[in-house]
Amino acid sequence: MKLTTEQKEQFERDGYLFFPGLFTPDETRTLTDAVPELYARQEEYNVREKGTNSVRTNFAAHMYSEPFARLGRHPRMIEPVEDLLGEKLYMHQFKINGKMAFEGDVWQWHQDYGTWKNDDLMPTERAMNIAIFLDEVNEFNGPLMFIPGSHKKGVIDAKYDLTTTSYPLWTVDNKLITQLVNRAGGSRGGIVSPKGPAGSMILFHSCLVHASTSNLSPFNRVAVYLSLCAVSNHIRRHKRPEYIAHRDFTPIECLPDDCLLKDYPVDLPWKDGVPQSAFVTTPEPFKIAA
């Protein structure tokens, strides 16, 4: 899937692209049917909401789940990012975020690259996120909110928030958020929130400032996020477990476009469990072979 000139210009201006209903109901169902069993696992890669058993984030499903391993090689997700970055990609992070009915907590205002830079020593912002809606996203179930054009601010100094939610995050302060929103149009377009049916896709810049509110509705809002990084821009530190920040920088090779409907063989290196090596971390940068 190649982007048009107009789409590339829109991405440069706004920092994101939205593709409503890009994946068919049958394709999306292949993924949604696999989620309950993954969320039921009592594993460290399932981060729960504070005080509940609801999953906030499931990490690295592409390493042990066939449907999500195929999604991680889907050309509709990989090719547009290759097109924008002009380089082959590796999977930096793979998440199934579950903002569950009545229990899904907030995600504070942040840039994804802020965490990748501070925790993983990713050299530059040559990485971005692709999100797929597994449920309909509406104004009630905690949709993503973007500040259009905020990626042009570059890398923002952030503070490390360990208390607001169950997952620590490098967050942007309210004063700067107010400035960015006013610059983007204030109450008339300074915050946008793409909404649409299950199967819709968002592509957004790693410096685009975004957040989401809690889900007080009776509607689940589950979404898959692929964090794709240019191979030459791979991380330089293993401060976080491998199921959160991956250490295999092998370029992704796409499967055919119908890979969610046919059983193409995929490698599942963690099918029998996450290896102990994935939990080994170091605060120091690693050396790059010459």
The per-residue pLDDT for range 235-245, each reduced to its tens digit, is 999 999 999 99
pLDDT value for 272? 94
Q: Does the residue 124 lie in any domain?
A: yes
As given in the structure block, the two tokens for residue 226 are 């692929």
pLDDT tops 50 at residue 138: yes
What span, in angstroms and rounded, lies between the C-alpha atoms of 134 and 29? 8
The C-alpha angle 190, 77, 19, rounded to 5 degrees, equals 45
Is 50 exceeded by the pLDDT of residue 223? Answer: yes
CATH code for the domain of 150: 2.60.120.620
pTM over 0.95: no
With respect to residue 286, please indicate whether it lies within any of the assigned structural domains: no
Do the domain assignments include residue 287?
A: no
The answer to whether residue 126 is domain-embedded is yes
| Res. 137 pLDDT band, cuts 50 70 90 | very high
| pLDDT tens by residue, 141-153 | 999 999 999 998 8
DSSP assignment of the chain: -PPPHHHHHHHHHHSEEEETT-S-HHHHHHHHTTHHHHHH---TTEEEPTTSS-EEEEE-GGGT-HHHHHHTT-HHHHHHHHHHHTS-EEEEEEEEEEE-TTT---EEEE-HHHHHHHHH--SSS-EEEEEEESS-B-TTS--EEE-TTGGGG-SPP-EEE-SSSSS-EEE--HHHHHHHHHHHTTTTTSSB---B-TT-EEEEETT--EEE----SSS-EEEEEEEEEEGGG--SB--S-TTTS----PPP-PPPTTTTTS------TTTT---GGGG---SSBPPPP-
How confident is residue 84, by pLDDT bands cut at 50, 70 and 90?
very high
Tokens in use for 214? 């809690």
Question: Is residue 284 domain-resident?
Answer: no
Q: What are 23-62's pLDDT values in tens digits?
A: 999 999 999 999 999 999 999 999 998 888 899 999 999 9
Whether the Cβ atoms of residue 150 and residue 184 lie closer than 8 Å to each other:
yes
Q: Return the pLDDT at 290.
A: 47
- Full domain range(s) for residue 206: 5-279
pLDDT at 233 over 60: yes
Q: What is the pLDDT of residue 51?
A: 83
- Domain for residue 96, yes or no? yes
User: Is residue 164's pLDDT more than 90?
Assistant: no
**Does residue 288 sit within a domain?**
no
Domain count within the chain? 1
What is the pLDDT of the chain when averaged over all its residues?
93
Residue 159 lies in a domain: yes
pLDDT the model gives residue 17: 97
Q: Looking at per-residue confidence, does 193 or 51 come out higher?
A: 193
